[in-house]
Structure 1
């Protein structure tokens, strides 16, 4: 076999650099592609949530459903109750 072109003494080192830089370029490209996929999936999921929320809001408006507001918290209700007597007499 006859090789054409110049043969360099730095052949293996030069190839190592080229292979390493190409490997890093491919890894970076894969990382960027993955980041773009994640962003597009996030945006599509967000759009689905917005569409579903709008649909539910329209249904609620037609049915005239009003939100129920809790007036007081559960912890404050427990403190305000007083037990006057036991419901059952266990003295027997």
Structure 2
């Protein structure tokens, strides 16, 4: 991409593809990084400000959300994290 700078980024997730931050795009989330071969990341949260539980697929997020709801008896929020658009609330598991 012309005019952008690629910087190596260490993450705490299991991402096996090269990742970069595109400095020409304003990220709406600190987790909005571009990853080669990775289109979306899904996250579970008990509250919008809680630390996320990352999932590779929406099916995995829904399954883990149902398990967490049954275990703790609380609503679980599922977010879709797009490397270019940021985060979007998809659904509430209640």
Superposed pair shares fold, TM > 0.5: no
Higher helix proportion (structure 1 or 2): 1
Higher percent of residues as strand: 2
- Normalised by the length of structure 2, the TM-score is 0.20
TM-score normalised by length of structure 1: 0.20
Higher RCO (C-alpha under 8 Å, 6+ residues apart): 2
